[in-house]
Amino acid sequence: MTTYLIAVLTEGAIFGIMALGLNVIWGWSGDFDLAYYGYIAVGAYMTIVLTVGPPVAPAQYIIGQSLPYPLAVVFAVITAMAVALVVGSIALRHLRGIYFSIVTLGAVYVMYVFAGQYVPLFDGYNGLSGLFDPMGDWFGLDYFSYQYFFLGLSLVMFALVYFVMSRVSSSRFGMALRTLREDERAAAAFGRDIYRLKLKGYVLGAALGGFAGALFAAYLTAFNTSAWSPVEVIVLYSAVLVGGRGNIRGVVLGVLIMGLIVNESTRFLPQLPLPGLSAFDTLHPQVLQAARGGIIGLVLVLFLRFRPQGLLPERRFVDRSPATPAIEPAPLAS
Amino acid sequence: MSRPTTGPALEVRGLSKHFGGVIAVDACSFEAPLGQVTGLIGPNGAGKSTAIDLVSGFKLADSGTVLFKGREIQGHPPHEISRLGLIRTFQSPREWPGLTVLENVVMARWDPGREGFLGAITGLRRAQRAKADDELAQARDILDEFGLAKLRNERAGNLSGGQKRLVEFARIRMAAPELVILDEPMGGVNPVLGERMAVAIEGFIAAGTSVIVVEHNLPFIERVTQHVIVMAQGTVIAEGPFESLRSNRDVVDAYLGEQVR
């Protein structure tokens, strides 16, 4: 049970960072980016190739360095940002709405297929492995104590990201991103360089994605294409939507809720006291497995229909200064 | 801030734009003086809105020059033109609907030093905070002036059409540009509010903001200015005080079917 709890909390912290990054792009800038999981993957892949040393045949991959984990994370984040800069500078220039989504979907499939098919890059579909307990030997940790260490590390990193994002949320930068979401022509009319600002937000979001990917790689110890189907991003979107798009507290709440649903539905669905269910599950285990996607979809549909602003809607600055109008405003009707 | 009070704020020379076979703006030339209100009128399809889009950088001209305070701005992107001090509004109010009225006004001022990511992280510094407080106080004063103080925490998207127009005017006050181009500010506005907007335009002039008003509502134009430019079929056909235009044959012809009072 303890192991399970540690796993849930560690994953929660990592998914929390992922969702906070997505919130920058979708929650604040307002762009439905489908390439986001690609930046997580870039972060994960780069962390591994920078830490596990040169490849041993028949494995093949680029770089093959044995850098200390924190340094590898820094380079991994920079790489994710660079990839996002390329994708963003193409997709954000003129495209908005569904057209932006289509281009980013194309971009992430290019990344996905490339990582899977071009073996010399990240060993194709075999993927990379061997990132065991990074930094563990610095502190002389064994396998069991390392779990606690990594949980602590993930939580501290999550708290750090949360703090920075809470600053960004109320800053003029965060507000400027929202003016783009709300009406970008007006934003341009009042001096905002739409393209640059959107690109900045996009690269910032991708940086968090790459960072979360770097932690995710250490948590999984390995990474391959089966670890990141591009549709995984829908789970992140549902977390942001359920919690409250644009509200970082809501995003964290959404991660907790969707994390529970995703993790627990597959565990507990077979145990539901329905006659014949467990026998059915033994015969066709993939059906209840697939029900997970159905449940996520159902939650998404219900929220979009009944509470599109999420459980904790984006909060606005409320000015409580006792400003009393000098003259009573004339009634306005038009 | 001292600003020159003579000379043209805006000079448009030979501006042209066509969409496919339609010539929307055809070798259009006019000037708008500093420190005054200039009216720009004309029947539907005269090319007024396209001319504004060209001047403000939202559309690219085929040819011609646009000088703002003597500086060529044609071909510059909208945000650069805005930063130089020329701000335009749109035919339908373009508030940021999900932000509050107060936030709409505060964010109308572009602040290069604080809008980057680093600015977000260093926002705790005292100087930064003081600046933000100043801004907030100023925005409150402006909202007070426009009778919007009670609505300041309301999301701008929830306001009525007329109130949104006022928010737009409040944003202009906050941005304090050298020239503002108002694109049909009277669209969907009742006469009482119209008078308040006329007063607000006088306030812009007093604050050092020159004004160009594009409008179909001729009484409103007559109320706010004597200097009127008439456009028809993509070009300027007449210019001068309102009285002279009333007897101008070209203007009457251009407006045939529309009421000139």
Q: Which of residues 18-57 of B touch A (CB under 8 A)?
A: 56
| Phi and psi, residue A128, nearest 5° | -115, 150
Per-residue pLDDT of chain B (261 residues; tens, 9 = 90+): 445 556 799 999 999 999 999 999 999 999 999 999 999 999 888 999 999 999 999 999 999 999 999 999 999 999 999 999 999 999 999 999 999 999 999 999 998 888 888 877 776 677 778 888 899 999 999 999 999 999 999 999 999 999 999 999 999 999 999 999 999 999 888 888 999 999 999 999 999 999 999 998 889 999 999 999 999 999 999 999 988 888 888 888 887 655 444
Residue of A nearest to B196 (CA): A330
- The continuous run of DSSP H or E covering B167 comes out as helix B161-175
**How many helical (H) and strand (E) elements, i.e. helices and strands, does chain B have?**
10, 10
Contacts across the A-B interface (CB distance below 8 Å)? 150
State the SS3 of A72-104.
Answer: HHHHHHHHHHHHHHHHHHHHHHHCCHHHHHHHH
On whether any CB of chain B is under 8 Å from the CB of A174, the answer is yes
- In 3-state terms, chain A is what percent helix, strand and coil (to 5)? 70, 0, 30
ipTM at complex level:
0.93
Q: Tell me if A171 and B114 make a contact (CB, 8 A cut-off).
A: yes
What Cα–Cα distance (Å) separates residue A133 from each residue in A6, A10, A138? 15, 14, 10
For B16-28, letters b (16+ CB in 10 Å) and e give: bbeeeeebbbbeb
Q: Identify the residue among A85, A160, A169, A171 best suited for mutation to test binding to B, counting B beta carbons within 10 A and taking the highest.
A: A171
Q: Report residue A259 as tokens.
A: 């994390």
Residue of A nearest to B102 (CA): A319
Strands (E), B127-234: 179-183, 210-214, 227-232
Report the pLDDT value the prediction gives residue A307, as an integer from 0 to 100. 95
Is residue B47 within 8 Å of B238, Cβ to Cβ?
Answer: no
Q: Tell me if A186 and B116 make a contact (CB, 8 A cut-off).
A: no
Taking CB atoms and an 8 Å cutoff, what residues of chain A touch B78? Answer: 185, 188-189
| Phi and psi, residue B12, nearest 5° | -110, 130
Surface-to-core class of residue B154, CB atoms within 10 Å of its CB (0-12 exposed, 13-18 middle, 19+ buried)? middle
Per-residue pLDDT of chain A (334 residues; tens, 9 = 90+): 788 889 989 999 999 999 999 999 999 999 999 999 999 999 999 999 999 999 998 999 999 999 999 999 999 999 999 999 999 999 999 999 999 999 999 999 999 999 999 999 999 999 999 999 999 889 989 888 999 999 999 999 999 999 999 999 989 999 999 999 999 999 999 999 999 999 999 999 999 999 999 999 999 999 999 888 777 888 899 999 999 999 999 999 999 999 888 777 766 777 777 788 778 878 887 777 777 778 888 999 999 999 999 999 998 888 887 755 444 445 554 4
Is residue A190 within 8 Å of B82, Cβ to Cβ?
Answer: yes
Taking CB atoms and an 8 Å cutoff, what residues of chain A touch B160? Answer: 332-334
Residue of A nearest to B80 (CA): A191
What Cα–Cα distance (Å) separates residue A146 from each residue in A51, A60, A244, A286? 18, 29, 34, 33
Q: Tell me if A173 and B110 make a contact (CB, 8 A cut-off).
A: no
Find the CB nearest A171 among B77, B119, B150: B119
On whether any CB of chain B is under 8 Å from the CB of A94, the answer is no
Q: How many Å lie between the alpha carbon of A53 and the closest alpha carbon of chain B?
A: 35
Q: Tell me if A172 and B120 make a contact (CB, 8 A cut-off).
A: yes
On whether any CB of chain B is under 8 Å from the CB of A167, the answer is yes
Specify the pTM.
Answer: 0.92
Residue B27's identity, in one-letter code, is A
Residue A163's identity, in one-letter code, is F
On whether any CB of chain A is under 8 Å from the CB of B176, the answer is no
Which has the closest alpha carbon to B77: A191, A94, A31, A97? A191
Q: Tell me if B150 and A182 make a contact (CB, 8 A cut-off).
A: no
